[in-house]
Amino acid sequence: MTSAAQEPQGRQLVVLGAGVMGVGITTLALAHGVPVTLVDTAADVLPVARDRIRQGLRMAQLKGALPEGVTPGELTEAADPAEVDWEADPVAVIEAITEDAELKAKVLAEVTTAVAPGTPLISNTSSIPIDELAGAVSRPEDLLGTHFMNPSYLIPTVELIRGPRTGESVLQATRKLLDTLRREVIVVNDAPGFVTSRVLHPMINDAARVVEEGTASVEDVDALMQGCLGHPTGPLRTADLIGIDNLVDSLWVLYRRTGDEGCRPCELLLSKVRDGHHGRKSGRGFYTYERAM
């Protein structure tokens, strides 16, 4: 008898946003037999996302991250939320657009009118408080947050954020979905940055500031953090994986909501964003990569 976490799910998952995180979450779900409708309104994004999903599935297979005996889910693409078959009763909706509270609130407010009450509305965010978004939706009890790491299909642990108005039934339904995706779930309460971003992102900012001030090179900062403190990749290589533009967005969210000067993005990070050096996805960040992710 197979476990619930191994059984393919017939109900679709709707993912809004085909950027780095939307693609990663879609790849994870497809790998575990969950059909996905991936939505992005930018005309040129979905074909690129399709290729990146194929690459991600191959990478997951090479890394042994695919469950055995599970037929991958079917991918459907939509260029507008209105094209989604909402009558099919999705298992959940995951919003994974850019880290902009106003845009997230607008998208969630539109979607909440299309789905049945009790359907989990999940904002995948690294830093925006869930209750801040809940004010924009008609059923705040259906809204909660996730913070998947990148790449979602290789990193098994997920922050699940319970907002002050999140209902227990929606929380449990989301846990069940994440169990199906074989994720280790850690439920945290709502706050700017939650746990991982509140701790990690100011630390990366400090690491970049150390380089900016000339104390050490990028490579030496990462080597010291790896060799002395056990950081798996080093903070600056991690910044490249997160996306330096995404990191800066998150730091601004933290700074504006906490007033912590340590969260104000340093000039080195800001200059890399201005120059388009966003990390692995652009081919260059603190390090140079042969191809963009």
* pLDDT tens digits along 144-202: 999 999 999 999 999 999 999 999 999 999 999 999 999 999 999 999 999 999 999 99
Structure tokens at 215: 């104390």
188, with CB counted inside 10 A (0-12, 13-18, 19+), is: middle
| Architecture field, domain 198-282 | Orthogonal Bundle (1.10)
User: Which band of pLDDT confidence, cut at 50, 70 and 90, is reported for residue 291?
Assistant: low
Q: Which residues does 58 contact at the CB level (< 8 Å), separation at least 6? A: none
Specify the pTM: 0.90
Catalytic sites, residue numbers: 147
DSSP-assigned beta bridge partners for residue 284: 279, 288
DSSP-assigned beta bridge partners for residue 187: 160
The CATH classification of domain 4-189, taken from the options 1.20.970.10, 3.40.1260.10, 3.40.50.720, 3.30.9.60? 3.40.50.720
Q: What is the pLDDT of residue 292?
A: 46
Q: Where in the chain is the domain with CATH 3.40.50.720?
A: 4-189
Distance of CA 8 to the CA centre of its chain: 22
Q: Which residues does 166 contact at the CB level (< 8 Å), separation at least 6? A: 130, 134, 140, 141, 143, 144
Q: Hey, what amino acid is at 93?
A: V
